[in-house]
Homo-oligomer: A and B are copies of this chain.
Amino acid sequence: MTRVRVHNFAVSLDGFASGEGQSFETPFGHAGHRLMGWFFPTRSFVEMTGHESESVGSGTSGVDDAFAAATSVGIGVEIMGRRKFGPQTGPWENEDWTGWWGPEPPFHTPVVVLTHHPRPDLQVGETTFLFRDASPQQALEEAVSLANGLDVRLGGGADVVRQFLKADLVDHLHVVEVPIVLGRGERLWDGLEGLEERFAIESTASPSGVVHRVFSRLSR
């Protein structure tokens, strides 16, 4: 049974998943790197990116890494919003640009990119991006057909996660609460009143300062 999973989805104390003013240089807007600061030192991130550095060596292996490590286990496909691919809006003006993720994106699976402006499939390294103008249900149907019996990871942003939560299509939601107040940006929780009734929720505080919350869908 294919599950739909969200991992490492970071929000501020005031519930913002990204800041204002997203651009090529600032994927999280004025939030900068602060929402993902807990993630970069982990062994999982270092291995994923090859960004070994003097400050973190081969990476930490505590609770933050335990959560990070679960991200790719058993995943056959990702669904993401267009703005996780790039900051453009409207019709694509430059299809030569192949996204934020460099020559070898960390997905290594098909990735369904939700956009109102489809474009041809794009192979970058081991990752194939498929651009689809589709409802959550339609996108999930295609993703499942591509997943080879594995799970579907829902990659964000907030708008996409919110839509799937509203449609009750999410089985596993890992939210990372970062102790900063962003004040503005895109909120995760809007329109989801009563969400807790559909999930078992477990919370773990990390020495890094973040809190990991895992929402596990109750049996239907």
Contact = CB atoms under 8 A, between A and B. Distances in A.
A48 interface: no
A179 interface: yes
Contacts of A184: 193
Contacts of A181: 189, 192-196
A70 interface: no
Nearest to A187: B14
Contacts of A14: 15, 187, 189-190, 192
Given A13-B189, A14-B189, A205-B204, A183 B179 contact: no
Interface in A1-42: 13-15
Interface string A164-185: 0000000000000101111110
Nearest to A203: B205
A183 B177 contact: no
A56 interface: no
Instruction: Categorize the interface residue count of chain A.
Output: 20 to 34
Interface string A200-220: 011111100111010000000
A180 B196 contact: yes
A209 B201 contact: yes
A179 B209 contact: no
Contacts of A201: 179, 209
Given A13-B213, A177-B211, A183-B189, 17 more contacts: A13-B15, A13-B189, A14-B15, A14-B190, A15-B15, A179-B201, A180-B194, A181-B193, A181-B194, A181-B196, A183-B190, A183-B191, A183-B192, A203-B209, A203-B210, A205-B205, A205-B211
